[in-house]
Amino acid sequence: MNMDLSRRAFLRTAGAGLAGTSLGALGFGEVEEAHAAAIRPFKLAATTETRNTCTYCSVACGILLYSKGSLAKGEKAEIIHVEGDPDHPTNRGTLCPKGAALLDMVRAETRLQSPRIRKAGSDKFERISWDEALDRVVRHMKADRDANFVAKNKDGVTVNRWTTTGFLAASATTNETAFATYKVVRSAGILVFDNQARV
């Protein structure tokens, strides 16, 4: 069935209150799609669309985030809707149940929104800024590398190994980011290198 259905025609023929899912269950899948397409402009009017990547798993599906409130105007931005990105080559607009429920994760009161540290001897975590977190990571990596880097093995062969720090890369990145990550990690001599896709 190939239907070119305008919103007005659909509402006239099907009735505004007729659920698209019922039609879908009856085999009218395209009517259901037309119904969803007819509603979307109203639901998402005056929102800002932002492309992103689902944070849940290594499939890294493309998502569209719709938010209200302009940061540029000093307003608080709030995500009100999440859906699959139809232009993304991996998922082409689809999302699995976890991805479809991303809005719940975004709004979860328990979601961490900033880095935290537990200082030596402390029994609680403290919030720190991203700048401070990145500075600390870099400082610790430098100190560990300086102390443990192995330039040559016992036979005098150059090996340039750094085995006391490991690196876990994310799969929700672009090819370019993955390439740069690999270059940085391997050129630093890190051998223990894995990816979220295998976890």
Which position among 61, 79, 185, 190 is part of the footprint of ligand SF4 (CB under 6 A)? 61
Given the complex with ligand SF4, which of 23 and 95 has the nearer CB atom? 95
Characterize 169-186 residue by residue with b for buried, 16 or more Cβ atoms within 10 angstroms of its Cβ, and e for exposed. Answer: beebbeeeeeeebeeebe
Given the complex with ligand SF4, which of 27 and 86 has the nearer CB atom? 86
Residue 149 is a binding residue for ligand SF4 (CB under 6 A) = no
Which position among 11, 18, 57, 150 is part of the footprint of ligand SF4 (CB under 6 A)? 57
For residues 21 and 27, what is the distance between their CA atoms, to the nearest angstrom?
10
Residue 20 is a binding residue for ligand SF4 (CB under 6 A) = no
Query: Under a CB-based contact definition with an 8 Å cutoff, are residues 91 and 59 in contact?
Result: yes
Q: Least separation, in Å, of the C-beta of 47 and ligand SF4?
A: 21
Phi, psi of 103 (to 5 degrees): -60, -35
Q: Which stretch binds ligand SF4 (CB under 6 A): 88-96, 110-118, 136-144, 187-195?
A: 88-96
Which position among 35, 99, 185, 190 is part of the footprint of ligand SF4 (CB under 6 A)? 99
List Cβ neighbours of 50 (8 Å cut-off, separation of 6 or more). Answer: 64, 65, 66, 67
Phi, psi of 22 (to 5 degrees): -65, -40
Q: Which stretch binds ligand SF4 (CB under 6 A): 17-25, 41-49, 90-98, 145-153?
A: 90-98
* Interface contacts to ligand SF4, rule CB under 6 A: 54, 56-57, 59-61, 91, 95-96, 98-99
